[in-house]
Structure 1
Amino acid sequence: MFALLTPALLAAVLLLCLWTLRKVRLIHLLAHEVRDQAASAPATLFRQLEAYDGLQRELRLDRSLPPTRGWAGSPDFLLELARHVQAAQPQVVVECSSGASTIVLARCLQLQGTGQVYSLEHDPVYAAQTRAELARHGLSQWAQVIEAPLRMHQLAGEHWPWYAAERLPAGLAIDLLVIDGPPQATGTQARYPAGPLLFPQLASGAAVFLDDAARRDEQAILRRWREEFPSLRQSLLACEKGCARLRNDHCARPAPQETRTDAILAPAD
């Protein structure tokens, strides 16, 4: 009987050894990743402090910006937006999700003396906070925070929870589109609907900025947009969380047929 068990025991010991080696390998890789992150953290922080200082100087702000950590746009991303607005001088700016970017964009339009920001926000609490920040900076007339709860959109046979974009003023020709929402927690490729729902409204020469472009979901979204909107030239900018810039040299494809539903979803965290 012992002879019969020996092969099984040997196989079990071998499997245990292989499992242990795999775990040791994973721990080794994790230790290297932690070491690399620790080594790069000071440089990353310094870059963000540089960008924040540059943002304050270029915008000549008398008051501090809202927090730029966590879900908020990082200083380097906000600085890219500010420099684009200074160079391109857009008249109609639409953004998906409000916050520090709303303040930056509104201030840029104030400095150029013309233009309007329309910010879609699904969370009433964040909408109120952004409006309060705009008032604190004296920028209320340069930006409208539009409460646009998430509702189900049917696009290309799929259902997507996304902003009630029909609350935007009709007939907008968008010069700059900033996409930093909805949150990833609302669903897979949560920001994809911005393409079929808003790209057809892009003016000739318009630009689109997608935050968090280093994430897998955003990379998948960019691939889909590349196939569906070949006239938009994509490029990546060196930002903390990744940033993709799309340029509209020609008009995008016609707006897709969307099956309207009236289901409104509760705000997601």
Structure 2
Amino acid sequence: MLVYLGALFHLIALALLLDLVHKVRRLQRVVVGMYDLSQEESATLFRQIEALQGLYIDLGFKKSLPTTRGWAASPDFLMELARHALDEKPQVVVECSSGTSTLVLARCMQLNGGGMVYSLEHDARYAQETRAQLERHGLQDYAQVLFAPLNNYTVGSDTWQWYVHDVLPPLAQIDMIAIDGPPKDTGRLARYPAGPALFPRLAPFGTVFLDDAKREDERAILERWQKEFPRLTQSKRNCEKGCVVLRLSGAA
């Protein structure tokens, strides 16, 4: 009987030991995963600080910019917009949504000595805030924030909630488009209508910047645009939330 109890005790102890080893190994994996995630988050944060600092230096802002966290465009995406605008000097820029990106692009127009940014904004309060920021930075002559409520926009048998874009002035061609709206909670593939609504008005070598390109909806939108607008080449940029640049190959 004692031998049996001794063997049973050893089996129980062995089982407990194996369970403990399993838990320790699992804890090690969690700790290593947390460390890797922490390293990745730290590197991302550092890149955003670098990009934000670069914006202040390259664009010479004398006053602070609005927040670039949360729903706002990240500094690395804003830097992509600024570099393109300064290099290629677009005369007509259209934005889907407004905010810090409006200030950045308007400042580029000012530094370039000309050009105009037209921002479609469905939120009247936010549109007014962006106008106030433009005034604060002395950039009101280089950007117009257009109140554009979301309304039904139909392509084929599908309907989206998208900007009432007839608020845009008669534009012969658009040199640059920045897409960071509408918000994804307005419906599936919320930003798709920018393609049929605006891409046909792109100038030769006109360029489109799509923010949040890491999201599943945006990837699906890009696939659809690739089929419907084959003359637009697509290239990725290494941005926090994902950025894809579409460029028109030239004149038809």
On whether the aligned pair clears a TM of 0.5, the verdict is: yes
How many pairs does the alignment contain?
227
Matched, 1:155 2:152: no
The match for 1:139 is 139
The match for 2:16 is none
Name the amino acid aligned to 1:140. Answer: Q
Name the amino acid aligned to 1:81. Answer: L
Q: Mark the CA change 1:66 to 1:160 in structure 2 (over 3 Å): closer, same or farther.
A: same
The match for 1:53 is 53
In the alignment, is the contact (CA less than 8 A) between 1:231 and 1:251 conserved in 2? no
In the alignment, is the contact (CA less than 8 A) between 1:188 and 1:217 conserved in 2? yes
Post-superposition offset of 1:36: 3.2
Once structures 1 and 2 are overlaid, which stretch shifts more, 38-47 or 83-92?
38-47
Residues 26-37 of structure 1: matches in 2 within 5 Å? Answer: 34-37=34-37
The match for 1:229 is 229
Post-superposition offset of 1:226: 0.3
The match for 2:23 is none
Post-superposition offset of 1:75: 0.4
RMSD of aligned residue pairs (Cα, Å): 1.8
SS state at 1:37 partner? helix
* CA distances 1:159-195 after superposition (whole Å, capped 9, x unpaired): 1100001110123410000000000110111000000
Q: TM-score, normalised by structure 2?
A: 0.86
SS state at 2:239 partner? coil
Post-superposition offset of 1:133: 0.4
The match for 1:198 is 198
In the alignment, is the contact (CA less than 8 A) between 1:92 and 1:116 conserved in 2? yes
Residues 252-263 of structure 1: matches in 2 within 5 Å? Answer: none
Post-superposition offset of 1:29: 8.7
* CA distances 1:195-233 after superposition (whole Å, capped 9, x unpaired): 011000000011000000011100000000000000000
Name the amino acid aligned to 2:98. Answer: S
SS state at 1:169 partner? coil
Q: TM-score, normalised by structure 1?
A: 0.81
Post-superposition offset of 1:42: 1.0
Once structures 1 and 2 are overlaid, which stretch shifts more, 34-43 or 211-220?
34-43
User: Aligned partners of 1:198, 1:218: CA distance in 2, in Å?
Assistant: 17
User: Aligned partners of 1:215, 1:146: CA distance in 2, in Å?
Assistant: 27
User: Aligned partners of 1:146, 1:158: CA distance in 2, in Å?
Assistant: 26
The match for 2:121 is 121
Q: Note the residue ranges of structure 2 that are not aligned, 5 or more in a row.
A: 1-26
Q: Note the residue ranges of structure 1 that are not aligned, 5 or more in a row.
A: 1-26, 253-269
The match for 1:177 is 177
Post-superposition offset of 1:33: 5.6
* CA distances 1:133-164 after superposition (whole Å, capped 9, x unpaired): 00000000100000000000111210110000
Q: Mark the CA change 1:139 to 1:224 in structure 2 (over 3 Å): closer, same or farther.
A: same
User: Aligned partners of 1:30, 1:190: CA distance in 2, in Å?
Assistant: 36
Matched, 1:96 2:96: yes
Matched, 1:87 2:87: yes
User: Aligned partners of 1:30, 1:247: CA distance in 2, in Å?
Assistant: 43
Structure number with the bigger relative contact order (C-alpha 8 A, sep ≥ 6) is 1
User: Aligned partners of 1:32, 1:121: CA distance in 2, in Å?
Assistant: 44
* CA distances 1:28-66 after superposition (whole Å, capped 9, x unpaired): 998776543222111111110000011100001101111
User: Aligned partners of 1:42, 1:251: CA distance in 2, in Å?
Assistant: 44
Once structures 1 and 2 are overlaid, which stretch shifts more, 35-44 or 55-64?
35-44
Q: Mark the CA change 1:41 to 1:149 in structure 2 (over 3 Å): closer, same or farther.
A: same
User: Aligned partners of 2:103, 2:31: CA distance in 1, in Å?
Assistant: 40
User: Aligned partners of 2:36, 2:173: CA distance in 1, in Å?
Assistant: 45
In the alignment, is the contact (CA less than 8 A) between 1:176 and 1:207 conserved in 2? yes
Name the amino acid aligned to 1:159. Answer: T
Q: Percent identity?
A: 57
The match for 2:242 is 242
Name the amino acid aligned to 1:108. Answer: C
User: Aligned partners of 1:29, 1:191: CA distance in 2, in Å?
Assistant: 39
Post-superposition offset of 1:251: 5.2
User: Aligned partners of 1:203, 1:123: CA distance in 2, in Å?
Assistant: 28
